[in-house]
Amino acid sequence: MKHKFIKYHIQKDQLVRVPKDYLNEFGTGDVYLLDTGPKIYLWVGKKSTPDEKFIGAITSVWKDQDRKGAAKLITVNEGEEPKEFLNLLNGKIRVTDQDTEGILKRVALKQHEFKLFRIHIEGDLNLYYEVKRSKDSLDTGDVFLLDTYNKMYIWRGQKSSAFERWEAMTIAEGYDDERAGHQEIIIVEEDEEPEDFLQSLK
């Protein structure tokens, strides 16, 4: 039976998509979002931190706002999973003490997947999460990172803030350090997109 949802893992202030081989695995110290479209489930592990719970809740609301409040937000605590939640996972769920963040980093590096991330700063809250890799995802009020592994494009909306632009550069440099400097960081201004950037969004 095919899974009919997208699963995300909360990594500090980041929302990272979970590979299909790990959809049924949950870390007790982690927080996850399961996005079915009509419903967004926030799964909260017993050992997750208050920060992870807060970021998970805010991010689920933010994703709901993207679809104009059409989605229903449901919090699911570890060990109290309702039947409809378990049905999404074909009745199988495995909770471990394993470090999900480490697993996802290794998988992402191995697969070299192209990913698009949105950076949005609202008050004291910094949101950094993956969005659909499409030109339609770009918003003039925010900054986006397009990660093609060898290149990291920083797309800067005309109405984005200086703090969002600074945060984007900090994140991009962090990825570059992890990959031992094998990555080129390229600044892209709205309405001045190079062809290779646009092709990478398709």
Question: What CATH number is associated with residue 90?
Answer: 3.40.20.10
Do 124 and 194 fall into the same domain? Answer: yes
pLDDT value for 197: 93
pLDDT value for 72: 82
pLDDT value for 189: 96
pLDDT value for 187: 95
Do 15 and 98 fall into the same domain? Answer: yes
Do 136 and 77 fall into the same domain? Answer: no
Q: Which residues contact 8 (CB under 8 A, 6 or more apart)?
A: 15, 16, 17, 18, 32, 33, 34, 35, 129, 130
For the segment 175-185, what is each residue's pLDDT rounded down to a tens digit? 766 655 556 88
Last residue of a domain, one of 52, 84, 103: 103
Do 39 and 86 fall into the same domain? Answer: yes
pLDDT value for 73: 83
Do 144 and 161 fall into the same domain? Answer: yes
Between CA 120 and CA 136 the distance in angstroms is 16
Give me the domain span that covers residue 33: 6-103
| Per-residue pLDDT tens digits of the chain, which is 202 residues long | 445 788 888 776 667 778 777 888 898 888 898 988 888 898 988 888 777 777 777 777 776 666 666 678 889 999 899 999 998 888 888 888 765 554 444 445 445 578 888 998 877 677 788 888 899 999 999 999 998 877 889 999 999 999 899 988 888 887 766 655 556 889 999 999 999 999 889 8
Last residue of a domain, one of 48, 74, 103: 103
Last residue of a domain, one of 103, 130, 146: 103
pLDDT value for 128: 82
Number of domains in the chain: 2
Alpha-helix residue ranges (DSSP H) falling in 92-161 = 100-111
pLDDT value for 98: 60
pTM, two decimals, is 0.51
Number of C-beta neighbours around residue 123 at 10 A: 5
pLDDT value for 3: 55
